[in-house]
């Protein structure tokens, strides 16, 4: 009887240890959501997997965070998240409509990503970049090595319309 009871206890402890190890492997990472808008079309609202991520003006982003999204600790090709958004053009047609896309998650950058950059590009493409590096950092994913404002500043027309205007002062400059 003692041998049977001992065997049962050992089996229970082994199963509990296996369950705990599996749970630790599956926890993943929670990432702060931030929008990057590399276009002149303002974004009224953005959701990632149903979680509100905020909105963003033209050629802006990377300075505020709203909501969070989880990713597994190891990146796998083909992982996607659902991104829904409303830009000003869609709002003019239907105030309740949202664009919707299954967006592939890019490979992680850095030892442990802490942000999920939701990037909107002029070609209509939306991309998701889990990274510990923000826009403008030399180790950020390649398309994010320049902030939306930096990209705009390199175009005379964009800079004139969005950056160099009467009454505008760069951050920290009076």
Of 130, 16, 19, the closest CA to residue 69 belongs to 130
Q: Which of 5-14, 90-99, 100-109 has the lowest mean pLDDT?
A: 5-14
Residues above pLDDT 70, as percent of the chain: 79
Give the pLDDT confidence of 38-67 residue by residue, as tens digits: 999 999 999 999 999 999 999 999 888 999
Q: What average pLDDT does the structure give for the chain?
A: 85
- Beta strands per DSSP E along the chain: 29-37, 43-48, 51-56, 68-71, 80-87, 99-104, 115-120, 126-131
Q: Indicate whether 85 pLDDT > 50.
A: yes
Give the pLDDT confidence of 86-103 residue by residue, as tens digits: 999 999 999 999 999 999
pLDDT value at residue 107? 95
Q: Cα separation of 38 and 29, whole Å?
A: 26
């Amino acid at each position: 009887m003692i041998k049977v009871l001992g065997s049962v206890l050992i089996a229970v402890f082994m199963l509990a240890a296996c369950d705990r190890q599996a749970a630790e492997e599956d926890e993943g990472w929670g990432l702060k959501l931030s929008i990057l808008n590399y276009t002149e079309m303002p974004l009224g609202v953005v959701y990632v997997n149903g979680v509100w991520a905020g909105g963003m003006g033209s050629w802006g982003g990377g300075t505020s965070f709203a909501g969070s999204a989880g990713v597994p600790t190891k990146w796998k090709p083909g992982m996607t998240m659902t991104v829904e958004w409303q830009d000003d053009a869609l709002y003019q047609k239907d105030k309740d409509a949202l664009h919707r896309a299954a967006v592939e998650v890019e490979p992680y950058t850095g030892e442990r990503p802490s942000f999920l950059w939701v990037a909107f590009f002029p070609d209509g493409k939306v991309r998701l970049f889990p990274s510990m590096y923000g826009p403008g950092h030399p180790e950020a994913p390649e398309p994010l090595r320049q902030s939306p404002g930096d990209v705009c500043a390199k175009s005379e027309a964009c800079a004139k319309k969005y950056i160099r205007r009467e009454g505008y002062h760069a951050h920290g400059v009076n």
